[in-house]
């Protein structure tokens, strides 16, 4: 061993946190020791004989590497099978540390100390266990240093972000993981104590910018890692919120449908009761009016009056029939549907209501449009909600225009419902289809009308949007696809 490498070896050994090393004189007196060697013994070790202290022997150990070093005059010595007497571990290796004249030896007590070996092994195992743990976590785990360089990127983080671990560790910066200045915002929140204490951030909702440019909503728990009071890195655990959001939406949708069907079911029951009560006297009125026409030789004036009675009775019967049809609780079924008829039915039921008495209704229904693919009851509810909103917005005074036409592409029907109300303020417009969003006072509206409409349009693979009309009012534009030959197997609405 040349001087330089001997020096390096000496230095490494003396500063090693694992190897116990002592320096002894030729008469085996300990002259110095490194910290791990000091740490092993509670008593003072300097000036003690090494064989006595380490191996509980009265004389030097047989095969001691230092003895052999002195005998060999300078060749470094290792002892593969050193003495195991006493309870100390065998010394493994000896080297001169000065020149041959001073004859001091550095003795490495335990490079292969079984207890150290197992310590190293345990350390290695616990390291790989931790690595495994982080990698198999269902939640994404990312750690980055202060400059933004990614230090850790587990499998779930790869799956959510679309970057492989290798890409993340070599080319990705933490700022690329979040859109806009998301990473700065996270750091800002981490450093203030508002979101879980300083250095901590709990259940923070943000988006991850995937490699393909899409945004994935996540909930993030993050922490700053400190070393000696200084920030050295940040670590984040996050989970994908897509499934939870989908379930939340689904739940809201079901809740709305439930509320609406409860509303419609009670309306249906009421209608059925009224219909039953009205049908019998209506039957009597019609029957007896006809009998009088047939059996009596009546004057022209009386005949005209009876005819009017018959007509009005028929109108009453039609109203009852439409009301029943409107509120009928049937299984949802897609079939070819005449959209003009559905509009006419809703208007027929609404136009005689007090709210509509001062509303002019303009119909521009195209007569040559094919059937759409729809569920009668759902389409009825859709028109009812939009038209009622329009009348409410106009506070019972204004013009309601309803039009239908074939789309430019010819594959759907476009329905436009416009009012001359105050319109929808720009800050309200993005929210009108949200469940339970209402600008109406308590008791006036629950905010489920348009979210139900949105759900119905979605069920029909259609589209809906609202725009503000000039000079005033709102226009709802709905597009519903035409029925296909497949739908024609289901009988058309009667
Ligand atoms: N034609 C319209 N003109 C102006 N604002 C409208 C119009 N239609 C809807 N809106 C706005 O959209 C909001 C949501 O409407 P939606 O029908 O969902 O609920 P609502 O009418 O308030 O309550 P509900 O329908 O449950 O009785 C309304 O509160 C209103 O602010
Ligand atoms: Mg409404």
Own/partner pairs for 92-100, CB < 8 Å, 24+ apart? Answer: 92/65, 93/65, 94/64, 94/65, 94/66, 94/68, 94/69, 95/1, 95/6, 95/9, 95/10, 95/69, 96/6, 96/69, 97/10, 97/23, 100/73, 100/74
Closest residue by Cα to atom 28, ligand 1, is: 438
Question: Does the Cβ of 475 fall within 6 Å of ligand 1?
Answer: no
Question: Does the Cβ of 428 fall within 6 Å of ligand 1?
Answer: yes
Can you give the pLDDT of all 494 residues of the chain as single tens digits? Answer: 454 555 566 666 677 777 788 888 888 898 888 888 887 776 788 889 988 888 888 888 888 888 888 787 666 666 654 444 444 456 878 887 766 566 677 777 765 454 555 666 777 777 788 888 888 888 999 999 988 999 999 999 999 999 999 999 999 999 999 998 899 999 988 888 777 677 889 889 999 999 999 999 999 999 999 887 788 899 999 999 999 999 988 888 787 777 766 766 666 677 777 777 888 888 889 999 999 988 888 899 999 999 999 998 988 887 777 766 666 655 678 899 999 999 998 898 888 888 999 999 999 999 989 999 999 888 988 999 999 999 999 999 999 999 999 999 999 999 999 999 999 999 999 899 887 889 998 878 878 889 889 888 988 999 999 999 888 999 999 999 999 877 666 666 55
Greatest alpha-carbon pair distance for the chain in Å reads: 154
**Vertex 179: Cα angle to 253 and 234 (nearest 5):** 105
**Vertex 46: Cα angle to 43 and 51 (nearest 5):** 85
CA-nearest of 88, 96, 105 to 52 is: 88
Q: What does the radius of gyration of the chain's CA atoms come to, in whole angstroms? A: 44
Cβ contact 486:336 at 8 Å: no
Please report, for residues 284, 361, 382, 402, the alpha-carbon distance to residue 343 in angstroms, rounded to integers and kept in the order given: 31, 12, 10, 8
Closest residue by Cα to atom 5, ligand 1, is: 424
Question: Does the Cβ of 439 fall within 6 Å of ligand 1?
Answer: yes
Cβ contact 215:209 at 8 Å: yes
DSSP letter, residue 434: S
Closest residue by Cα to atom 31, ligand 1, is: 439
Alpha carbon of 438 to ligand 1 centroid (Å): 6
User: What pLDDT, in 10s, does the model give residues 231-274?
Assistant: 889 999 999 999 999 998 888 878 777 776 676 666 667 777 77
Q: Which ligand is nearest to the CA of 476?
A: 1
On the CB side of 143, CA atoms within 13 Å amount to: 14
Question: Does the Cβ of 152 fall within 6 Å of ligand 1?
Answer: no
CA-nearest of 87, 22, 16 to 48 is: 22
d(CA 371, CA 488): 10
d(CA 39, CA 371): 91
Residue ranges and CATH numbers for the domains of the chain are 3-116 (3.30.450.20), 137-240 (3.30.450.20), 242-329 (1.10.287), 332-489 (3.30.565.10)
Question: Does the Cβ of 440 fall within 6 Å of ligand 1?
Answer: yes
d(CA 83, CA 363): 109
Which atom of ligand 1 lies at the shortest distance from residue 452's CA? Answer: 18
Alpha carbon of 373 to ligand 2 centroid (Å): 24
In sequence order, what DSSP letters do the residues of 258-307 get, joined into one string?
Answer: HHHHHHHHHHHHHHHHHHHHHHHHHHHHHHHHHHHHHHS---HHHHHHHH
Beta strands in 156-214 (DSSP E): 200-209
CA-nearest of 457, 256, 271, 259 to 349 is: 271
């Amino acid at each position: 061993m040349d001087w330089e490498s001997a020096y390096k070896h000496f230095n490494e050994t003396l500063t090693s946190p694992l190897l116990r090393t002592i320096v002894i004189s030729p008469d085996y007196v300990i002259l110095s020791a490194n910290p791990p060697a000091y740490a092993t013994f509670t008593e003072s070790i300097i000036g003690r004989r090494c064989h006595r202290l380490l191996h509980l022997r009265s004389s030097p150990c047989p095969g001691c590497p230092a003895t052999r070093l002195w005998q060999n005059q300078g060749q470094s010595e290792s002892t593969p099978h050193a003495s195991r007497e006493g309870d100390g571990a065998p010394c493994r290796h000896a080297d001169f540390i000065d020149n041959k004249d001073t004859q001091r030896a550095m003795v490495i007590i335990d490079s292969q100390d079984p207890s150290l070996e197992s310590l190293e092994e345990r350390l290695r195992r616990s390291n790989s266990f931790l690595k495994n743990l982080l990698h198999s976590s269902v939640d994404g785990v990312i750690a980055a240093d202060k400059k933004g360089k990614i230090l850790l990127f587990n499998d779930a983080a790869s799956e959510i972000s679309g970057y492989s671990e290798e890409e993340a560790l070599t080319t990705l910066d933490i700022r690329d993981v979040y859109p806009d200045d998301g990473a700065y915002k996270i750091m800002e929140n981490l450093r203030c104590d508002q979101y879980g204490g300083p250095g901590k951030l709990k259940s923070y909702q943000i988006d991850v910018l995937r490699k393909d440019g899409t945004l994935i909503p996540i909930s993030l728990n993050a922490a700053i890692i400190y070393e000696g009071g200084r920030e050295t890195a940040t670590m984040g655990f996050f989970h994908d919120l897509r499934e939870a959001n989908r379930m939340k939406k689904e739940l809201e949708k079901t809740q709305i449908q439930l509320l609406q069907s409860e509303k419609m079911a009670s309306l249906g029951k009421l209608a059925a009761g009224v219909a039953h009560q009205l049908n019998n006297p209506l039957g009597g009125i019609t029957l007896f009016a006809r009998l009088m026409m047939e059996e009596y030789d009546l004057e022209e004036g009386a005949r005209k009056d009876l005819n009017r009675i018959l007509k009005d009775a028929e109108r009453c019967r039609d109203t009852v029939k439409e009301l029943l049809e409107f509120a009928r609780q049937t299984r949802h079924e897609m079939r070819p549907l005449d959209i003009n008829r559905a509009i006419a039915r809703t208007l027929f039921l609404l136009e005689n209501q007090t709210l509509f008495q001062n509303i002019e209704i303009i119909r521009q229904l195209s007569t040559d449009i094919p059937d759409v693919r729809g569920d009668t009851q759902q389409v009825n509810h859709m028109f009812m909600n939009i038209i009622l909103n329009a009348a409410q917005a106009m506070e019972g005074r204004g013009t309601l225009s309803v039009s239908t036409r074939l789309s430019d592409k010819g594959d759907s029907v476009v329905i436009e419902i416009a009012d001359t109300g105050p319109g929808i303020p720009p800050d309200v417009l993005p929210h009108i289809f949200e469940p339970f969003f209402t600008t109406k006072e308590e008791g006036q509206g629950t905010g489920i009308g348009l979210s139900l409409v949105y759900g119905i349009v979605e069920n029909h693979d259609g589209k809906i949007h609202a725009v503000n009309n000039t000079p005033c009012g709102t226009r709802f534009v709905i597009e519903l696809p035409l029925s296909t030959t497949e739908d024609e197997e289901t009988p058309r609405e009667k």
